[in-house]
Chains A and B, each alone.
Chain A
Amino acid sequence: MTIYENKPSYLNEQKGLTSWLFTLDHKRIGIMYLASIFFFFIVGGIFALLLRTELLTPGKTFLEAKSYNQFFTLHGTIMVFLVIIPGIPASLGNFVLPLQLGAKDVAFPRLNLMSYYIYVFGSLLAVFSIFLGAIDTGWTFYAPYSLQTQEKVVMMVTAAFILGFSSIFTGINFISTIHKLRAPGMNWFKMPLFVWGIYATSIIQVMATPVLGITLALIVVERLIKIGIFDPTLGGDPILFQHFFWFYSHPAVYIMILPGMAIISELITTFSQKKIFGYRLIAFSSIAIAIISFLVWGHHMFVSGQSALIGMIFSALTFLVAIPSGIKVFNWVATLYKGSISFATPMLYALSFLFLFTIGGLTGVFLAVLSVDVHLHDTYFVVAHFHYVMVGGTFMAFLGGVYYWWPKMFGKMYDERIGQLGAWLVFLGFNLTFFVQFYLGSQGMPRRYYNYLQQFQTLHVISTMGAYLLGLGFLVVLINWIHALFYGKVAPANPFHATTLEWTHASSPPIAHNFVRQPIVTEEPYCYGDEPHHIHGLAHKGA
């Protein structure tokens, strides 16, 4: 990467390993997060491929039941706690947020570095626990199973507890940054929608994560010193665990999806060169989702043994949360109307998102209907639904976002043809893997099943083949990125003609202090306005 030596940037301002390890630069921390998160994504993905391979045949294919149970637990735990929850906010949020706000850094750079190291420590502890005795509880750690199994639950739960602090610190940091470090002239409604999305996410992170921490701590206390909280043999209540767990983990679903939606708002507007449709409604819907997300956790428990009345209330509230998500989808489609739509790689992911997230959202409606959920709960239908939201939604947005900001992060362009190929492989592989699972679930195939009825084999084989194709797609994406890092063409400051500050006022890659002069904001964030907007190099808007 010698090219950077020509031009001062955050990448070459200081050199050597320690300059990275002790950096307080939000951009470098974002890059370190990005690399770590994709490392753990590969680990979680390998477990997924092993699982799908085992499911090629009913009964034993190559794993024992015990190993299968451990593998789906590890896949879930790694993907949820190490990849998707920190995912977009910690990596792209860290890199982009201060730039979009016209700030020099986040509000608390040291806290930022600390949260990275807490993340690394928690993650390594989680991975280390696998070698001592991989847990087999499912990522949900349901009591009393998690209190009775012989495996290293305490260590894994401690890891998740520690990871929670990383999440809280990042959330606090972003909220402070957004409140205090906006560029002069940038009022709340001049903030890019990515910032709104990250803001809503941060609120949930700060408010919900402590509850997970407390719940996990109670599991440790119960396992180690036998205080009865969740275990009925000690006088506890296992349903209480589910309430505590989902009180965090349902809002956590929105910790995962809101940043994805935030990225999509940026991609749709940039790649159609058009002002976002319904800026305020999109911004408010993020906040609405953040608030309602705290009131719907019981929809994970319609058949758990909670009362029918509680089930009714949670069902009603759950339907409410569907409305703001629907609003966003319609507004994005309306943005494209009469735009100038480019099909560059990031946009392909945004369009995939619209397609897949719509399926994920609509199948969520099935699960909010009480009587239908009784049949579909804990079946492959649910598995397919949340993969459509988490992978088809969040992860597509994540990939699109990484492609979009890649030139800004590294000053190099990715290869467009390999980018397109990867996007198509991922899209096809994903649908092949998960669409058939809606059918399996409707037929009554429960999730977390090592063995299954012969009649389901064809569909399981299709799903597994899809998973291999999806794996190949991700591989192509990673190769494209690594290739771009070394051989990519030098990127201009604003290759996609976007209008937010990181593109118009910062070079690619930005200098260590982000901006040469403090940007002053006078316009709304997506002003594709009347004059031609093809700025190459630095713009002087308002500076």
Chain B
Amino acid sequence: MKNLNELLQMVIPKGWLFSTLPMGISDHASEVDTLYWFLIITCLILFLLVVIPLIIISIKYRRKTPLQRAISQIDHNFWMESLWTFLPFIYLTILFVWGFQQFLPIYIAPTGAKELRVVGQKWQWSVDYVDEEINVAGVGATIAVPVGQPIKLVMSSQDVIHSFYIPNLRLKQDVVPGKYTTMSFRADREGEYPILCAEYCGDLHSQMLAKLKVLPAEGYASWVNEMKSADQEMPLLELGTKLSEKLGCLACHSTDGTAKLAPSFKGIYGKKEEFSGGGSAIINDDYIRQHILEPQKTTAKGYPPIMPSFQGRVTERGISALIAFIKSLAE
């Protein structure tokens, strides 16, 4: 099948016609794309094999007078019928073998693959890096991986079924509560790519997004360091800035006044905020602290109640740092 792959890639240059697929960023993706294009071309041929005769016959044998009769009553032809029973069988067998051959490696991680443990919960992803001992989480969280490094994802869900979908890798795997599912890949192209939830999981299913950031080895190492770097040594404001990104705050709260999924941080400190269930409060240190730990208590008017709790995920000093960060954006 390898030769066929190469042959087809010569016949169909990348980006030919219009790109019906998002950019592939791994060997697996380009192999799947080859098969996908093989399918498009062969199915187009099959479609024309049905439709062109259909159109020609319909025109040629259209009824011209109301009383016209069919010019033949042939009602079977053994060889023709055998032909269109067995030729599809051969075609479909090829497709089956080819597809299965590409399918299996998704579940067999090569030795030395870096293990990431993924937890899905309504409506965000949380990823633990086993070797590096770091965690990234939150709506729009950035999940970095080194380029060319085999990765193995071990995934589970905290609540309902989610599905971890990276279109650029042509990979998707359901994330199921009560069991582990795995998926392995190797991203070969640097850049940022969307990760989506593909299994319906409730109100904000379509917001359950994250980013895959494929970095060169050095870039990855410094990203890990940045994630790990001793928070104690950092000035509060700097730490707050860093945490706001790391914990995914900025996915929903903008810093420039635009309303995303939640009120912007810009100018919010010291302001009076209306709540969706009625009532209001001045946004001060106490409010911010309480809202980070127990976000479900109050929700700003006009926004969905989607903020997850950060209880246990952020230290006292971290909260102070975030307060300092939000304060710095006050008007």
Is B one of A's binding partners?
A: yes
A interface residue numbers (CB < 8 A to B) = 65-66, 69, 136, 138, 142, 144-145, 148-149, 232-233, 236-239, 272-281, 302-305, 308, 311-312, 315-316, 319-320, 322-323, 326-327, 329-331, 333-334, 336-343, 351, 354-355, 358-359, 362-363, 365-366, 368-375, 377-379, 438-439, 442-444, 446-453, 526, 528-530, 532-534
Given contacts A238-B161, A371-B35, 4 further A-B contacts (CB under 8 A): A305-B179, A375-B167, A442-B36, A444-B196
Contact of B176 with A by CB under 8 A: yes
Contact across chains for A377 and B172 when beta carbons are under 8 A apart = yes
Contact across chains for A136 and B202 when beta carbons are under 8 A apart = yes
- Name which residue of chain A comes closest to B87, CB basis: A326
Residue among A232, A323, A331, A371 with max Cβ neighbours from chain B (10 Å): A371
- Measured between C-beta atoms, what is the minimum distance from A324 to chain B in Å? 9
Residue among A148, A239, A316, A446 with max Cβ neighbours from chain B (10 Å): A446
Contact across chains for A305 and B174 when beta carbons are under 8 A apart = yes
- Measured between C-beta atoms, what is the minimum distance from A534 to chain B in Å? 6
Contact across chains for B178 and A439 when beta carbons are under 8 A apart = no
**Residues of chain B with a CB closer than 8 A to A355's CB:** 51, 54
- Measured between C-beta atoms, what is the minimum distance from B14 to chain A in Å? 15
Please provide the chain B residues from 67 to 86 with a CB less than 8 Å away from any CB of chain A in the complex. Answer: 67-77, 80-81, 84-85
CA distance A275 to B43 in the complex (A): 29
Contact across chains for B63 and A341 when beta carbons are under 8 A apart = yes
Contact of B61 with A by CB under 8 A: yes
- Measured between C-beta atoms, what is the minimum distance from B66 to chain A in Å? 9
Contact of B206 with A by CB under 8 A: yes
Contact across chains for B177 and A238 when beta carbons are under 8 A apart = yes
Contact across chains for A378 and B163 when beta carbons are under 8 A apart = yes
**Residues of chain B with a CB closer than 8 A to A236's CB:** 178
**Residues of chain B with a CB closer than 8 A to A365's CB:** 39, 43, 92, 95
- Measured between C-beta atoms, what is the minimum distance from B122 to chain A in Å? 9
Contact across chains for B84 and A326 when beta carbons are under 8 A apart = yes
Contact of B197 with A by CB under 8 A: yes
Partner of B174, one of A149, A275, A303: A303
Contact across chains for B167 and A338 when beta carbons are under 8 A apart = no
Contact of B32 with A by CB under 8 A: yes
Contact across chains for A340 and B167 when beta carbons are under 8 A apart = no
Contact across chains for B202 and A443 when beta carbons are under 8 A apart = no
Contact across chains for B160 and A144 when beta carbons are under 8 A apart = yes
Contact across chains for B61 and A323 when beta carbons are under 8 A apart = no
- Measured between C-beta atoms, what is the minimum distance from B113 to chain A in Å? 17
- Name which residue of chain B comes closest to A362, CB basis: B43
Question: A370 with B61: in contact, given A144-B177, A340-B70 (CB under 8 Å)?
Answer: no
Partner of A333, one of B54, B203, B204: B54
CA distance A452 to B46 in the complex (A): 33
Contact of B320 with A by CB under 8 A: no
Partner of B32, one of A69, A145, A371, A449: A371
Contact across chains for A334 and B80 when beta carbons are under 8 A apart = yes
**Residues of chain A with a CB closer than 8 A to B72's CB:** 274, 337-338
